[in-house]
Structure 1
Amino acid sequence: MPEERVLSDSESIDDYYRSFLPTVTDTLEDSLVPTMVYSYGQVVSGFAARLTANHVSLMSEKIGFIKAYPDRLIPLHTTRTPSFLGLDIANGIWNVSNSGKDVIIGVLDTGAIPTHPSFKDDGMDPPPTTWKGTCEYASSSSCNNKIIGAKSFVQGSQAFKAHGKSAGKPLAPVDDEGHGTHTASTAAGNLVPNVDVLGQAKGDAVGVAPRAYLAIYKVCSREGCAHSDILAGLDAAVADGVHVLSLSLGGPPRAFYSDPIATGAFAAIQKGIVVSCAGGNNGPNAQTVSNDAPWILTVGASSLDRSIRSTVRLGDGTEIFGETLYQPKDFAADQLPLVVPQSEDGRYCLSGSLDNLDVQGKIVLCERGGGSGTIEKGAVANAAGAVGVIIMNDETNAYSTTADPNLIPASLIPYAGGQKVIAYAKSNPKPTAAIAFMGTLIGRSIQSPVIASFSSRGPSVTTPGILKPDIIGPGLNILAAWPFRLGVNYTVRGPTFNVISGTSMSTPHLSGVAALIKSAQPDWSPAMIKSAIMTTSDAVNRQGKPIADERLKPANLFATGAGHVNPSKAVDPGLVYDILPEDYIPYLCGLNYTDDDVTVIVHKKISCADYEKIAEGELNYPSFTASLSFSKVTFNRTVMNVGEGSSTYKVEVDAPVGVSVVVAPQTLSFRTLKEKMSFTVTFSLLKSTAEGSYVEGQLRWVSAKHTVRSPISVYLGSKSAPLT
């Protein structure tokens, strides 16, 4: 919309947008009548409509038209996690933040089941007077002082299902998939005592910010999440007055101006709203991270110090640790004949592939993958007469195992363990195996956190000069609320809990942490909250060793980001790196985006000629990413004192191998709170450096009380890192 065009109300905005739609007379040859679906008033100046290519061509000739994009579908990407994260009612951040009191978390997902006990409003105050949302469940009484609002925006995904035709009656924001109920309860579910899943992971279930409010926006259906619906949900959430946005969804990386999550999130941070998004489940391959705009908190996934253990015992005495949720007490851990299918379909236990094998009363080895899930493999083996199944990881997933609600006795084991099973079976004419159920194991004996194999990795394709993901949090085998009963009657409604995995699960953990910080520090900007989370994170695991990846090797920064979230430290970071919304404009122009591209993102008319472009690394980000050839690279940073009024910080640097890192000044002395000080960091190559690789280090500002840590990633040997 042209800046000089001033419209007074939503109705006149709708009329203005409708003026772009071609008339019936203009489109007599088109079979589709132009129809507006959504009118956006907060996160983008525009609308969603059902149009043909001819309609778009006609619209492009009108004054005020900037860009049009086709709608797309993208995918959806706890009893232990609060304790694992160091959350405690009497001490730490739960006490300082009053468990997220007065903060509203907007969850864009598949909706939620309001009757689940995780969404009871015991101990909750009425919503704040700033709340403008409404409740669109069948009965408005379904909302309470926990779920204070709920809306549905799935006309876009319904249109995909209807092949572009009218989507029909709008759906209520009820969760018919499970994903949204799980994520909402993870972020801010109320305490539910004595829960379990199939008898495992017993304990009290509670969200990260249990006194925060929830606003539910159903933007995804079983078909997926349409760009138009996501924008509509973001638009409503910003207008309603949420403080934190949680999006456990996303597609492949896209230029920010064509990414509805990036553009919508920018509008949100302009209103002071923190946006937490899933980094994606396409790991462990490099350059797969999504939702990578620097104004978004991009979240990767890692494990807990909990294992729902099932042990495979081979006939030669070898023991292999695995996991499963279903652990029947009446299943004897006796040695039974072991079958290792040899056909391609049989290896993966695909439907019908075991029918010609004698598996009656035996245990079958199935390989992960082949287009079927672990539960389906167990069902196929069971239908063929098997009494147990061993599911071995593929090489890519290595040691990253999930605890699934299998339908028969099972154990999901690492790839290395699977190779032992295969080697044993080949060397024995009558191989046997047993599955022993060990229950739920918790504690320091379990290496944690470990990067989940599926967690998407950097470097970012869209903005390689910004380290992504930003942070990791619990996302593997996460217990939270579920709307259906588990087992055969999987779609029968009934408030239960389920254990599932994904960056979808780690994201609401970080959304909850952001809510805790927002409650304790209501005046902090989204960038300050993000900085606090990143600079106080842990670079080592519970055993004091480097965080490992799915191979149990030290994980790189493209897997961990700044590190694993440490909520208790994040509320008191000492120093923060702040970025104002207008600070992103020189950065966006520096990406060589056109004026129109930047205008779409920042929601006002921009001419990049009016700004001094900056390199990505010049953004006042809490991490450092440089690409070195023969010249030096210098970055400027500014930090704000939010710790003690009078404090002195000295710099410590672990320089990447082959790189010189010079910081000036080396001491920052603050006299007052909110005082700002600047410093420079200069990176240069050493003569002995081997070219063509990434090297890592870290920079720390250390005072008597605080350590403010930033990761350093440097690519050696080229002016720009390779995108391979």
Structure 2
Amino acid sequence: MMFRKILLFLVLVTTASIGAAMAKNTYIIHMDKTKIAAKLFHEVDSMQTYQAVIDSINEMSLQKVDGDQQQETMPAELLYAYETAISGFSAKLSTKQLQKLEKVDGFLSATPDQMLQLHTTNSQQFLGLQNGKGLLSASNLASASDVIIGIVDTGIWPEHASFQDKGMPAVPSRWKGVCEEGTKFSKSNCNKKLIGARYFFKGYEVEYGRINETKEFLSARDQNGHDILAGIDKAVQDGVDVLSMSLGLGPLPFHSDTLAIGSFGAIKSGVFVSTSAGNSGPFSSTLTNSAPWIMSVAASYTDRTFPAVIKLGNGKIVEGISLNSGNALTKPVPVYYPLSRFCLDGSLNETEIKGKIVVCRTSNVSAYIQSENVKKAKGVGMILVNFISDGDELYVQPHILPTARVGYTAGKYVTHYASTAKKPTASIIFKGTVYGRTAPVIARFSSRGPSSIEPDVIKPDVTAPGVNILAAWPPIVGPSERQGDTRSVMFNILSGTSMSCPHVSGLAALLKSVHRDWSPAAIRSALMTTAYTLNNKKSPISDVDSSNSVGPFAYGSGHVDPERAVDPGLIYDIAAEDYLKYLCNLNYTSAEIALFTRGNFTCPKITAFGARDLNYPSFAVNFRGGVQNGSLEYKRTVTNVGIPTSSYAVQVEVPNGVSVIVKPKILSFNKLGQKLSYKVTIVGKSKTSSHSSFGSLTWVSGKFRVRSPIAVTWQ
């Protein structure tokens, strides 16, 4: 969806030039702080500096000067002070007050604030969605407006511009939910876009005691805390079509995982459930939310970046990343690499730091605190170098002074130069926003498979944009989330699988609007079988730490492609009872299975139904005990949703160490909705040098390519 920044202007219409000169408008003021008069300058607090500038303007405005027809009656008003993105502030000024400000030492320029349509994150463009076309055509959007997405999360800030309902149609008549009142949350906070809100706190209070309403909101307003199972249950009752849950409880057996239990009840009611894969990568088997009835989403980079070019005094150029913009550090500045590599509180000596760019290594301490420590010691900038455990992962973070972050590989050049050169210097050029980088690239933090709970289903399912994503932000929380960060912003740049999950939730809603009769499994299948595995440079998707390609345990079936998913050709559907048979195969007890059924269900006494028979659109092949020449058989059924009369031929990319036999090799359909089955036999020939190898099975017919990944693992 597109976010808009709404500015409210009060306009006084008059024929008198006096009124025009005194009418207030909002301006962005760019200042050179080094030239501001000493009596106005506050070295630590920019807000105080610019307030002093505004106060001086107000004092001049109150003094009646010969020629003035009227004295100012409304003072100029400081709105925000900027330190990182630009040097300056925003203020409400009359034309005459602006003219006085232009004469103040340090004034550079003034730009009228404008009502802009934000470009949001560039996810929409990167996903191939175009306004007015395909899934975002007017006819489809009209249908999509009747799809309801339920979000189980920490809360919401209803006044945010992202939730304004201008142009939204009436709330669907089938909606049964309410707008539950609580601390600073009333029924009027809901509208035609935010159609309902509930909060669940009883479980929280049992665990942690009574909620202190002076510090936390006892309402649906944004604050940490869940009562997850009750929230899922009520959302289904209220009539949501999609559940988006960017949270997880760690790798747990399904019967011990409240999210898995609750989401099973949701899919039984036809609700699609999208979840985040977790942020514990790059290590294997770190994935959460591996239940086969939910969609697990990995995180990857888009083609947008925020480069910061560091030029060292020896001529070496190192590229990093930064949210800074402008030219604050374009001239060479002395560089200092302290003995306290992590720039901990109290470890930096002002005598050594003042006026220098400080090189700090990432640590368990917040990057914001590190920049705060550098600023306290009178440093003018920071180069934040990844520790070896962070690799070359680069995602932007908010700081309070000009900062560039570099990966571990590039950081080795920076630290070596800073610690060996006699008089090291550096300059930093902030490039702002740049498009066209190689993408998608799997984020290092994105959790990987195979699932430690049940490796017979490949997880994650897909990957989606999850790094450096523009997201709505509560104004009472600073962008760094640190207690001392008093800045207020409407949007923040965030990274995590909690960012990629909502992308898939939104796409599922769009697909649901086109295919009302599709089950949650059918929607998941469409997103998986149409996903792609080549980046925008036509090379295999790689990991951020390496140019080497990665496989299904990192990105599942690949990166989502919504315009292809709406017309996938074939789908793999799964009934709720099949999931229960799958649980029976896991040897769950009757009591454990009852957690999912909430009714009568008895596992078949004799069943040939195994994990390999679950009609999943991927193939997890596990040879246990290093078996060679053993074979595993898989049965799958596909439903024709493409062209009534059509034939699909199989294409197999055979993983190393096995042979693959598919019968039949051609599937011929003569009507829509027709189901045909096939069998796949995978024979283990020899164990590869690694524990896993990857391939794929694709059914091809004209424009349709219905692809399923194959992951072979020797255990």
TM bucket normalised to smaller: 0.7 to 0.9
Q: Is residue 423 of structure 2 the alignment partner of residue 430 of structure 1? A: yes
| Structure 1 residue 165 displacement after superposition | 12
* Aligned amino acid, residue 310 of structure 1: A
Q: Is residue 584 of structure 2 the alignment partner of residue 593 of structure 1? A: no
Distance in 2 (alpha carbons) for counterparts of 1:318 and 1:309: 16
CA deviation string 1:450-488 (max 9, x = no partner) = 111111111101111110100110000000211227569
Return 5+ residue gaps in structure 1 as ranges. Answer: 1-77, 177-220
Question: Which position in structure 2 is the counterpart of 1:684?
Answer: 683
Question: Which position in structure 1 is the counterpart of 2:667?
Answer: 668
* Aligned amino acid, residue 111 of structure 1: G
Once the two structures are superposed, the pairs formed by residues 282-297 of structure 1 within 5 Å of their partners are 282-297=280-295
Out of 322, 328, 331, the position equivalent to 1:331 is: 328
Distance in 2 (alpha carbons) for counterparts of 1:114 and 1:164: 21
Larger radius of gyration: 2
Question: Which position in structure 1 is the counterpart of 2:176?
Answer: 132
After TM superposition, which residue ranges in structure 1, 4 or more long, deviate above 3 angstroms?
A: 158-161, 163-170, 485-495, 689-692
Distance in 2 (alpha carbons) for counterparts of 1:319 and 1:531: 46
CA deviation string 1:364-383 (max 9, x = no partner) = 111112x2122221111111
Distance in 2 (alpha carbons) for counterparts of 1:296 and 1:149: 24
Q: Is residue 86 of structure 2 the alignment partner of residue 91 of structure 1? A: no
Once the two structures are superposed, the pairs formed by residues 622-701 of structure 1 within 5 Å of their partners are 622-628=617-623, 629-630=627-628, 631-687=630-686, 689-690=687-688, 693-701=691-699
| Structure 1 residue 170 displacement after superposition | 7.6
Distance in 1 (alpha carbons) for counterparts of 2:212 and 2:333: 56
| Structure 1 residue 163 displacement after superposition | 8.3
Contact 2:249 2:257 in 1 (8 A): no
Once the two structures are superposed, the pairs formed by residues 295-306 of structure 1 within 5 Å of their partners are 295-306=293-304
The structure-2 alpha-carbon separation of the partners of 1:623 and 1:317, relative to structure 1 and needing over 3 Å to count, comes to same
The structure-2 alpha-carbon separation of the partners of 1:460 and 1:122, relative to structure 1 and needing over 3 Å to count, comes to same
Question: Which position in structure 1 is the counterpart of 2:443?
Answer: 452
Once the two structures are superposed, the pairs formed by residues 93-172 of structure 1 within 5 Å of their partners are 93-95=135-137, 97-98=140-141, 100-137=144-181, 138-162=185-209, 171-172=218-219
Out of 471, 478, 496, the position equivalent to 1:502 is: 496
Distance in 1 (alpha carbons) for counterparts of 2:145 and 2:495: 28
CA deviation string 1:306-355 (max 9, x = no partner) = 1111111111111111111133x35131222211223xxx2122222224
Distance in 2 (alpha carbons) for counterparts of 1:378 and 1:607: 60
TM-score, length basis structure 2: 0.78
| Structure 1 residue 152 displacement after superposition | 0.6
Question: Which position in structure 1 is the counterpart of 2:250?
Answer: 252
Distance in 1 (alpha carbons) for counterparts of 2:145 and 2:444: 35
Distance in 1 (alpha carbons) for counterparts of 2:166 and 2:172: 16
The structure-2 alpha-carbon separation of the partners of 1:334 and 1:441, relative to structure 1 and needing over 3 Å to count, comes to same
| Structure 1 residue 565 displacement after superposition | 0.7
| Structure 1 residue 693 displacement after superposition | 1.3
Distance in 2 (alpha carbons) for counterparts of 1:493 and 1:416: 33
SS in 2 for 1:109: coil
Question: Which position in structure 2 is the counterpart of 1:707?
Answer: 705
Question: Which position in structure 2 is the counterpart of 1:481?
Answer: 472
| Structure 1 residue 649 displacement after superposition | 0.5
| Structure 1 residue 171 displacement after superposition | 0.9
Distance in 1 (alpha carbons) for counterparts of 2:620 and 2:667: 22
Question: Which position in structure 2 is the counterpart of 1:15?
Answer: none
Question: Which position in structure 2 is the counterpart of 1:242?
Answer: 240
| Structure 1 residue 113 displacement after superposition | 1.2
SS in 2 for 1:524: coil
Structure number with greater CO (CA < 8 Å, separation at least 6) is 1
Contact 1:152 1:170 in 2 (8 A): no
Contact 1:155 1:167 in 2 (8 A): no
Supply the RMSD in Å over aligned alpha carbons.
2.2
| Structure 1 residue 690 displacement after superposition | 3.4
Contact 1:484 1:490 in 2 (8 A): no
Alignment: residue pair count: 583
Distance in 2 (alpha carbons) for counterparts of 1:297 and 1:141: 34
TM-score, length basis structure 1: 0.77
SS in 1 for 2:352: coil
SS in 1 for 2:491: strand
CA deviation string 1:642-701 (max 9, x = no partner) = 0111111100000001210111100001100010000001100225x4366100001100
Question: Which position in structure 2 is the counterpart of 1:519?
Answer: 513
| Structure 1 residue 615 displacement after superposition | 2.8
Contact 1:127 1:145 in 2 (8 A): yes
Once the two structures are superposed, the pairs formed by residues 55-74 of structure 1 within 5 Å of their partners are none
Once the two structures are superposed, the pairs formed by residues 234-383 of structure 1 within 5 Å of their partners are 234-327=232-325, 329=326, 331-342=328-339, 346-355=340-349, 358-369=352-363, 371-383=364-376
| Structure 1 residue 609 displacement after superposition | 4.2
Distance in 1 (alpha carbons) for counterparts of 2:576 and 2:318: 52
| Structure 1 residue 167 displacement after superposition | 13
Distance in 1 (alpha carbons) for counterparts of 2:684 and 2:675: 30
Question: Which position in structure 2 is the counterpart of 1:543?
Answer: 537
Return 5+ residue gaps in structure 2 as ranges. Answer: 1-119
* Aligned amino acid, residue 366 of structure 1: C
Distance in 2 (alpha carbons) for counterparts of 1:627 and 1:537: 23
Contact 1:587 1:613 in 2 (8 A): no
Distance in 2 (alpha carbons) for counterparts of 1:530 and 1:575: 12
